[in-house]
């Protein structure tokens, strides 16, 4: 009996030991990534917020920290508001364009057979390997008065001969759509790939035309992909800085350019921090507002 009890106690201890290390070990394992996140992600964000209440000396560029609400009050300034509104409008238009172009493209890829599908996917992905900046400089040439795009549009009488399409809002949109399109196509493609072929067969058996199948079956089932694409395109596009810098000719400023100008152009880190924090807050609110939909992304991302 005593032996039996001893054995039971030993087993209980062993079980306890087996349970304990994972709890502590798990925490210990989590320390480096937590430290990393704390140091390089959260701390800079906190610093950004602290800086947003500071004030800069325009000659020495020294920052006096305190409780200066002037930078936040400045956000109501038309200059910053117009930049923000312009960013939101351009983001909305480019996201819609990406979705409109991305959906049929993803559909075509998902319907293609094995090898052709691979080639089509590579055609979407490979340009993405080229530097973002280089791709946008390439557009500068293509949209120039002697550029391929301009000549093509001239040939079909959409533009006058020798017209320069660079440095316009349209050029910025072209740059944004071409840069972000893969981020829309790929999640929609993944969502489409997960549609059970039996569902499509059932739709056909029930007499739905191809167009009706797309509208009533494929489109609703691709929604998680759409939402993922909208987030992947919309969030970085709102803070876009490079594309308007290259293709906008310094005339069309988005909020990303205004933040850049505050940090590096004027050196007013407190105002730049206030705008950046406000933009981050806005994005966070939008994400939280759509969080129910975001849950659908788990299968896609």
Partner 1 sequence: MSSLGSPYSGPLRSSRRSFLTAGVGLAGAALLAACGSDDSSSGSAGAGPTTLNFLNYPDWIGKDEVAKFEAANPGMKVKQTAIADGGVAAISAQIAQNKGAFDFGLLGGVTAARLKAGDLLSTFDPSTVPNLKYIPDNFRKMFPWGIPTDLGKIGLGYRADLVPTPPASWKELFDALPDHSGKVIFPDYDRDVLGIALLALDYSVNSADEGELNKARDLVITAKPHLKAFLSANQGSGLADGSAVMTVFYDYSYGSVAGENATIKWSAPSEGLPAYIEGWVPLVDSKKLAQLATFMDWHLQPEVYGDFINATFASYLMPDAESHIAATIKDDPALKYDPNANLQFEEFTSAKGEEIRTKIWEEIKAA
CB of 236 to partner 1, least distance (A): 21
CB atoms under 10 Å from CB of 51, counted, come to 20
Residue with tokens 């058996």: 205
> Which is closer to partner 1, CB of 166 or CB of 190?
166
- Of residues 36 and 132, the one with the C-beta less far from partner 1: 36
Cβ 110 vs Cβ 189: under 8 Å: yes
Angle between helices 169-193 and 114-129 (to 10 degrees): 140
Which one of 127, 267, 286, 293 is in contact with partner 1 (CB under 8 A)?
A: 267
Token pair 């959260």 is found at 42
Interaction with partner 1 in 102-161: which residues (CB under 8 A)? 144-146
Residue closer to partner 1 (CB basis): 166 or 276 = 166
Q: Least distance to partner 1 from the beta carbon of 280, Å?
A: 20
Candidates 181, 218, 15, 180; CA nearest to 105 is 181
DSSP summary character for residue 55: E
Percent helix / strand / coil, the chain, rounded to 5: 80, 0, 20
Neighbours of 296 (CB within 10 A): 16
Which residue is it, tokens 């006096």?
64
Count of CA atoms in the C-beta half-sphere (13 A) of 241: 11
Judge whether 80 and 275 are in contact, CB under 8 Å.
Answer: yes
| Closer by beta carbon to partner 1, 220 or else 250 | 250
Nearer to partner 1, 39 or 288 (CB): 39
- When asked if residue 265 is in the footprint of partner 1 (CB under 8 A), the reply is yes
- Quick check: 73 binds partner 1 (CB under 8 A)? no
**What distance in Å separates the CA atoms of residue 28 and residue 106, rounded to the nearest whole number?**
43
State which of residues 200, 228, 253, 279 lies at the interface with partner 1 (CB under 8 A).
253
Binding marks (x or -) toward partner 1, 30..49, rule CB under 8 A? -xx--xx--x----------
Q: State yes or no: residue 8 binds partner 1 (CB under 8 A).
A: no
Under the binding rule (CB under 8 A), the answer on residue 23 touching partner 1 is: no
CB 170 → partner 1: shortest distance, Å?
A: 12
Given the rule CB under 8 A, which residues bind partner 1?
A: 13-14, 16-18, 20-21, 24-25, 28-29, 31-32, 35-36, 39, 57-61, 79-80, 82-83, 144-146, 162, 164, 166-167, 248-251, 253, 257-258, 261, 264-267
């Amino acid at each position: 009996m005593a032996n039996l009890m001893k054995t039971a106690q030993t087993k209980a201890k062993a079980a306890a030991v087996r349970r304990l290390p994972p709890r502590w070990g798990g925490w210990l394992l989590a320390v480096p990534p937590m430290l990393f996140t704390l140091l390089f992600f959260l701390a800079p964000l906190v610093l950004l917020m602290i800086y947003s209440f500071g004030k800069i000396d325009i000659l020495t560029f020294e920052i006096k920290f305190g409780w200066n609400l002037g930078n936040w009050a400045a956000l109501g300034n038309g200059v910053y508001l117009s930049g923000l509104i312009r960013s939101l409008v351009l983001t909305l238009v480019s996201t819609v364009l990406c979705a409109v172009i991305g959906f049929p493209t993803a559909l075509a890829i998902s319907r293609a057979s094995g090898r052709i599908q691979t080639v089509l996917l590579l055609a979407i992905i490979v340009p993405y390997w080229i530097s973002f900046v280089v791709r946008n400089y390439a557009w500068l040439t293509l949209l120039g008065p002697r550029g391929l795009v301009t000549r093509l549009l001239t040939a079909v009488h959409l533009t006058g001969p020798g017209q320069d399409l660079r440095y316009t809002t349209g050029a910025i949109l072209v740059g944004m759509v071409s840069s972000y399109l893969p981020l829309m196509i790929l999640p929609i493609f993944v969502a489409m790939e997960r549609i059970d072929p039996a569902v499509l067969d059932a739709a056909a058996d029930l007499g739905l035309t191809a167009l009706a199948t797309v509208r009533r079956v494929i489109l609703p089932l691709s929604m998680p992909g759409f939402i993922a694409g909208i987030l992947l395109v919309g969030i970085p596009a709102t803070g876009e800085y490079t594309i308007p810098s290259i293709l906008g000719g310094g005339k069309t400023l988005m909020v990303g350019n205004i933040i850049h100008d505050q940090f590096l152009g004027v050196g007013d880190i407190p105002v730049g921090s206030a705008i950046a924090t406000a933009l981050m807050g806005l994005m966070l609110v939008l994400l939280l507002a759509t969080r129910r939909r975001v849950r659908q992304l788990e299968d896609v991302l």
